[in-house]
Amino acid sequence: MSTTFVLVPGAWQGGWVWQPVAERLRAAGHTAITITSPGLAGGDVRSGLHLSDAVEHLIAEIEKRDLRDVVLVAHSWGGYPVTGAAHRVAGRLSGIVLFNAMVPRKGVSVADESDLMGPQLRAAIEATPDGTIPVEPGYLPLLLPESGEELRSFFADLMVPMPGGYFTEALDVADISGLSVPMHYLLSDNDQVLIRPGAEFAARLGLTPQPVGRGSRW
């Protein structure tokens, strides 16, 4: 049976990061669509973007294709646009998969999730003329802890500054636990970049994380 997967990446990344997974899904007979949120493609204008722009973009991508029986898949920060969109397209969904993903609470931004990281994120935004958060050099070894320099260099060339509003703005919707679709939380044992432990995010939805070992999209 063919399934339609809509793959939403994390911070600083575009749909390119999901391409290896998308190719495997297509080879298995499924439909796979990778999402690049506004501001996260090379050459995009990033100033003045809001979290709602990422949510609306995801909704528009689903609706303009008239997608049905969709499995939304989120990685890391992708949990924010997926949560915001899921309520609006609930009738088109057949499932939600969260891979090392944030599970937002109503009214709580990414920056609000951590007393330690929050001030650092806001300071980084204030330090840039376009209100973005650059990719820190020390981030890639955490994102790709077991990868070589070649893959890290590939990521470094494609990752772009993150629109600040994506980290400082919150959703005005409840979490997705009330939606009547199957949900799964996948957690790799080498994740080092989530702002809170993945098990804590999964618990917000009443889920037990499903371990995927040293899971990767590559």
* Beta carbons of 141 and 115 less than 8 angstroms apart: no
Residue 76 bears catalytic tag = yes
DSSP 17: G
Strands (E), 41-101: 70-76, 93-101
What are the counts of helices (DSSP H) followed by strands (DSSP E) for the chain? 8, 8
Closest CA to 158 of 43, 6, 25: 43
User: Which structure tokens are listed for 107?
Assistant: 């009214």
DSSP alpha helix (H) spans, the chain: 19-27, 51-64, 79-86, 117-126, 139-143, 149-158, 165-168, 198-203
Please identify which of the residues 76, 94, 177, 180 carries the catalytic annotation: 76
- Residue 56, number of CB atoms within 10 A of its CB: 16
Positions annotated as catalytic residues are 76
